[in-house]
Structure 1
C-alpha cells in the first residue's frame, strides 16, 4: 500500500494562515483593551467635571443667598429709619423751656430772720428777709433791671446795712441786697435776671454771714414790702 505524502508548499501555507489568524486575534484583543481603558478615562474625566460644575453651582447659590440676606437687611434698616423719621415728624414740637422771670438771690440757703419780725437788732421791725449763707456766696439779681445804688454805708441807706446794692426793676419794684462783702456792679449798670452782682458778707449791723434782702416800692429805706410774698407771686418758692 502506498503512503500519501503532503507537499511542503501546502504545510508552509497552512502555517502562515494560522499565524495570521492568531495575530489578528491578538490585535482585536489589544484594540478592545485600549477601548476599555479609554472608556474608563473618559468616565473619570466626566465625573470630575460634574463635581466641579456642582461645586460652582453651590458657590453661586450661596453667594445669591448672602446677597439676598444683605438686601433684605438693608431694606429693613431703611424701613426702620423711615418709621422713626415719620414718628418724629408727627410728634409735636416741645415748646422751649421758658426761663424764670424772677429767681432767688442766693442758692443753698437757710431762711433766718423774716419780714416784719420784731427784735432788738432793728430800729423797728425787720424790713426784709435774711438768707443765712457762708461768707462770699454769690449774690444774683433776682430780676433784670438797672442798678440805682451800690456801695458802702448801705448805698446811702445807712451804715446798718453795710455794703449794699439796690436795683430798679420797673413797674414800682426795687430789690435791695445788704451786708455784702463785695459789690460787683455800679449805679447805672443794666443787669439780667440771675446775674452775679455781689458776694455775701457780714458788714454793717450783722450777727453773722448772711444776705439781707428786701423788695421795695421805692429806691430808699422805708418802702419795703414782704419779699417772700412778692416773690411767691412771681413763681419763686422758698
Structure 2
C-alpha cells in the first residue's frame, strides 16, 4: 500500500516537473522570439532615418541651387535691360544730334524764296529773333570761317560763321552782332558760338541760317528740310 502511494506521488511530481520545464521552455521561446523580432526591427529603423536625412540634404542642396540660378537669371535680365536702355538712349541722342540754331524764334524768309532783297533767290532760312539772342552750333564740327564780310562770302551776310561737319555738310550763321569762336576751333552741338544781330543786308534783326555741301556760297540746300530729316522740329 505504501509503495503504490509513493509510486503515484512520484509520477505526479514527474508530470509537474515536465510541465514546468515545458512552460519555462515556452516562455524562453516567446522571449527569444520577441528578442529576435526586436533585433530584426531595430536595424530597419536606422536605415530609414538615414534615408530621410539624405533626402533632406539633397532637397536643401536643390533649393540652394534653385536660389542661385534664380539670382543669375535676375542678374542677367537686369543687365540686359540696362544694356537695352543704354542703346535706346544712345539711339535717341544720335537721332537728335542736330538742333535749332536759336530758341524761341519765328520763321520768316524761307529757302529759295524769290524777292528784290536778294541777288538771286534766298539761300537759307531766316529765324526772326531779337539782337543779342544766343546762337548755337546746330551740330558739332570745326569752324572754317568766322568774321566780317560774311566770313569771306560777301558783305551781304555781315558777320558770319561757317562750321564743317562730317559727311560733306556745312552750316552757316549770318548777320551776327558778335562772334565767339575762331577759325580752326572745334565746337560741340548746342555750344554758343555767337549772338544774333542786324549786320549786313537785312530789314531787321534775325539769324540767317544755311546748310551747304561746301563751305562757300552757292552750295546751299533747304535747311528746314535737312533739320527735319535729322529729327529737329523746326
Instruction: State TM-score, norm by structure 1.
Output: 0.61
Q: Which residue of 1 aligns with 2:155?
A: 159
- Mind listing any 5+ residue stretches in structure 1 that lack a counterpart? 1-85
CA distance in 1, matches of 2:80, 2:123: 51
Q: 1:140 aligns with which of 123, 136, 140?
A: 136
User: Do the aligned partners of residues 90 and 213 (structure 1) sit closer, same or farther apart at CA in structure 2, a change above 3 Å counting?
Assistant: closer
Deviations 1:113-163 (A, max 9, x none): 000001110001000000000110000000000000000000000000000
- Mind listing any 5+ residue stretches in structure 2 that lack a counterpart? 1-73
Q: Which residue of 1 aligns with 2:231?
A: 235
Q: Which residue of 2 aligns with 1:104?
A: 100
Q: Which residue of 1 aligns with 2:187?
A: 191
SS, match of residue 232 in structure 1: helix
Name the structure with the higher helix share: 2
Of structures 1 and 2, the larger Rg is shown by 1
Map 1:36-75 onto structure 2 (within 5 A): none
SS, match of residue 127 in structure 1: coil
Q: 1:114 aligns with which of 85, 110, 124?
A: 110
Instruction: State TM-score, norm by structure 2.
Output: 0.62
CA distance in 2, matches of 1:162, 1:126: 15
RMSD: 1.8
SS, match of residue 95 in structure 1: helix
How far residue 92 of structure 1 moved from its aligned partner, in angstroms, is 3.9
